[in-house]
């Protein structure tokens, strides 16, 4: 559709170049209108591209959305509800963390918790191989600081805290011998922690399931809204394209009113030009005639083209189409090199044979 508009604009511009009754057509104003249409068509092409990309991504089950179009605006409309949902989920998780904090206090207040309250004094205790044995040191003061962090570096999920609590005890059990006091203390406190954790776990699992369901619902709602926005954009595009087509038609009518009629000699030259077209270009030229004359059978085996029976619009469109087509043929012929001169007569015969095979002929009225 975009290509059609581009061609129509080109035709309007071409017809307007110097074809007025008195030669005083205000070309600057006309060109400005054409340029405005071209600019609008360029923007419409980008919108069409965006819509095509969106539906392509939907077909591939991709959820990444395009930027810089109405879909982004539609997403912004849903941000408040999504944010509220996220805030509610965050509050519920914080409540679980507070309950976990109660468990943590019970463990840290145990009489055997003191070795695990602060980071291990590796240098003070002369534990030169500690970092070779322990990959990630952990203690309860570090856990507490991260739980209270306000800069966004804190725990996001209760399971992260649980993992670090286990790490405190497992590090101690890994580094210290099974019969050592620290190993026994760590093993005992870990068992007490796991017992209390199992009591909280059902609530954690319930919250995780609820969060997954809410996120799935939010994503589905957002996708539906995005598809609705794209559908609206497609409808708006259709209306805008129709408006552009109407404007083009108005411009064509305006130009035709100011264009002079084609002379008999020009019609004769046009007929000569049609004969020189390649078979493909000849078919396209006949399609131009059919566009303004529905009864004209462009694809018939034998075609009679009466120049005097054609509208001025059709004749001027044919003229510029033939001119451009022959220029292209000339450039293509020139790019073939020196052998072209030797084969020129042969190529002419081939064109004539090709046209004859199509059984299409033009009838020039002089």
Per-residue pLDDT tens over the stretch 234-289:
788 778 878 877 777 777 677 666 666 888 888 888 888 888 888 888 888 888 88
Count of other CB atoms within 10 angstroms of residue 301: 8
- The answer to whether the CB of 188 falls within 8 A of the CB of 112 is yes
Chain region(s) in the chain for CATH 1.20.920.10: 81-222
Q: What are phi and psi of 81, to 5 degrees?
A: -65, -40
Q: Tell me, what's the pLDDT at 126?
A: 92
Token pair 């005890």: residue: 169
Task: Give CA separation, 221 vs 64, 211, 228, 234, in Å.
Answer: 15, 15, 11, 20
Q: Choose among 51, 146, 44, 45: nearest CA to 100.
A: 146
Q: Tell me, what's the pLDDT at 89?
A: 80
- The answer to whether the CB of 140 falls within 8 A of the CB of 116 is yes
**pLDDT < 70: residue spans in the chain:** 1-31, 55, 57-82, 252, 255-260, 298, 334-366
Distance CA 129, CA 93 (A): 39
Q: Where are the alpha helices (DSSP H) in 176-311?
A: 181-258, 264-275, 279-292
CATH fold of 81-222 reads: Histone Acetyltransferase; Chain A (1.20.920)
- And the tokens for 233? 């954009």
Q: Tell me, what's the pLDDT at 338?
A: 47
Chain region(s) in the chain for CATH 1.20.1270.220: 262-331
- And the tokens for 143? 């856990």
Distance CA 160, CA 169 (A): 15
CA 56 from centre of chain: 8
b/e string for 73-97 if b means 16 or more Cβ within 10 A?
Answer: ebeeeeeeebeeeeeeeeeebeebb
Distance CA 285, CA 101 (A): 83
The model's pTM is 0.46
**262-331: CATH number:** 1.20.1270.220
Q: Choose among 319, 251, 316, 245: nearest CA to 31.
A: 251
The phi-psi region of residue 61 (left if phi > 0; otherwise alpha if psi is between -120 and 50; otherwise beta) is: left
Complete DSSP assignment for 98-128: HHHHHHHHHHHTSTT-GGGSS---TTTTT-T
């Amino acid at each position: 559709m975009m290509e059609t508009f581009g061609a129509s604009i080109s035709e309007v511009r071409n017809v307007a170049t110097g074809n007025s009754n008195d030669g005083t057509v205000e070309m600057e104003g006309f060109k400005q209108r054409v340029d405005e249409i071209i600019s609008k068509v360029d923007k419409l092409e980008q919108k069409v591209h965006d819509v095509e990309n969106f539906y392509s991504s939907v077909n591939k089950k991709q959820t990444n959305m395009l930027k810089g179009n109405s879909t982004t605006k539609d997403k912004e409309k849903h941000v408040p509800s999504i944010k509220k949902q996220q805030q509610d989920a965050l509050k519920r998780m914080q409540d679980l963390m507070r309950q976990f904090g109660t468990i943590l206090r019970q463990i840290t207040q145990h009489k055997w918790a003191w070795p695990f309250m602060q980071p291990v004094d590796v240098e003070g205790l002369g534990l030169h191989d500690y970092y070779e044995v322990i990959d990630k040191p952990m203690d309860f003061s570090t856990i507490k600081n991260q739980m209270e962090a306000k800069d966004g570096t804190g725990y996001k999920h209760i399971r992260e805290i649980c993992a670090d609590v286990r790490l405190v005890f497992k590090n101690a059990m890994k580094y210290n011998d099974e019969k050592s006091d620290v190993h026994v203390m760590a093993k005992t406190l870990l068992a007490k922690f796991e017992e209390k954790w199992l009591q909280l776990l059902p609530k954690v699992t319930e919250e995780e399931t609820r969060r997954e369901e809410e996120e799935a619902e939010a994503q589905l709602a957002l996708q539906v809204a995005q598809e609705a926005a794209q559908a609206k954009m497609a409808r708006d595009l259709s209306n805008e394209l129709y408006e552009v087509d109407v404007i083009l038609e108005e411009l064509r009518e305006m130009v035709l009113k100011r264009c002079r009629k084609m002379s008999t000699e020009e019609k004769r030259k046009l007929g000569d030009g049609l004969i020189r077209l390649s078979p493909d270009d000849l078919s396209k030229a006949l399609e131009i005639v059919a566009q303004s004359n529905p009864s004209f059978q462009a694809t018939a085996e034998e075609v009679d083209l009466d120049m005097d029976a054609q509208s001025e619009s059709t004749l001027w469109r044919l003229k510029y189409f033939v001119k451009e087509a022959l220029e292209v043929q000339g450039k293509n012929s020139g790019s073939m090199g020196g052998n072209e001169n030797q084969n020129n007569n042969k190529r002419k015969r081939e064109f004539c044979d090709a046209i004859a095979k199509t059984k299409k002929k033009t009838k020039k009225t002089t």
